[in-house]
Structure 1
Amino acid sequence: MKLSTRTLGSVEIVAVDASRIDAAVAIQFKDQMREVLADAADRVILDLEQVDFIDSSGLGAIVAAMKLMPSGRKLELAALTPTVDKVFRMTRMDSIFPIHESVGSAIQSAA
């Protein structure tokens, strides 16, 4: 599991450089997100463009990362592939996370 980060002003963009977030990598993902969020910018956008598959362990890891956010801040998601988007909608996680069509639209959003 590899995450890459970049900061644009007060926005931290965390790109998942893997095709899957599943039981095999969920703990590693959560640990890496903990490190990233320790000194993250005001807004954090998780770029899921490369992720083609996510299972319940992956969803749980993303929820755990959200819970690591300081009070009053949210983890935002961007660029979900159709398969991953379907999982978020079926599990109603789209009501928990702000979801953006792309990283660019997330950055322009005032969420």
Structure 2
Amino acid sequence: MQLDYHDTANVRTITVHEDRVDAAVAITFKDKMRDLCEDGPDRVILDLSQVMFIDSSGLGAVVASMKQASGKALELAGLSPTVLKVFRLTRMDSVFVIHESAAAALGGGLANAS
């Protein structure tokens, strides 16, 4: 599971460099997200643009990451149509702010992906 991050003034963008977030990597994902969110800015954008598949374990790991971020805003960006469908079917699209892309999120636009 490869994640990296880039900080700008008050935002940490974390990019997932995997095509799947599923049961095989969910625990590692959650642990790495906890470490990356711990000492960063109060706004975190999780760039999922390279993720083409997410299952219930992966979704649970993303939700757990939001809870672990304690007080920080965790926003999502770059969801593929398949990943966005999972968030919609589970109504998690009403829990997270979802941006079309990381660039759009950094530009300040809060337009949820449709």
Q: Which residue of 2 aligns with 1:96?
A: 95
Mapped partners of 1:25, 1:40: distance in 2: 23
Q: Aligned-pair distance for 1:100?
A: 0.2
The code of the aligned residue for 1:50 comes to Q
Q: Which residue of 2 aligns with 1:20?
A: 20
Mapped partners of 1:109, 1:94: distance in 2: 18
Mapped partners of 1:52, 1:92: distance in 2: 19
The code of the aligned residue for 1:76 comes to E
Q: Which residue of 1 aligns with 2:105?
A: 106
Match of 2:41, SS state, is coil
* Runs of 4+ residues over 4 Å off in structure 1: none
Residues matched between the structures, number:
110
The code of the aligned residue for 1:94 comes to D
Asked if structure 2 preserves the Cα contact closer than 8 Å seen for 1:74 and 1:97, the reply is no
Mapped partners of 1:61, 1:88: distance in 2: 13
Q: Which residue of 2 aligns with 1:44?
A: 44
Mapped partners of 1:22, 1:33: distance in 2: 15
Q: Which residue of 1 aligns with 2:76?
A: 77
Summarize deviations over 1:59-84 as a string: whole Å, max 9, x none: 0000000001222x321000001100
Matched residues, percent identical?
A: 56
Asked if structure 1 preserves the Cα contact closer than 8 Å seen for 2:34 and 2:69, the reply is no
Mapped partners of 2:66, 2:40: distance in 1: 12
RMSD: 1.1
Uncovered stretches (5+) of structure 2, i.e. residues with no partner: none
Asked if structure 2 preserves the Cα contact closer than 8 Å seen for 1:13 and 1:47, the reply is yes
The code of the aligned residue for 1:91 comes to T
Q: Aligned-pair distance for 1:110?
A: 6.5
Q: Normalising by the residue count of structure 2, what TM-score does the alignment of the two structures yield?
A: 0.92
Q: Normalising by the residue count of structure 1, what TM-score does the alignment of the two structures yield?
A: 0.95
Q: Which residue of 2 aligns with 1:54?
A: 54
Uncovered stretches (5+) of structure 1, i.e. residues with no partner: none
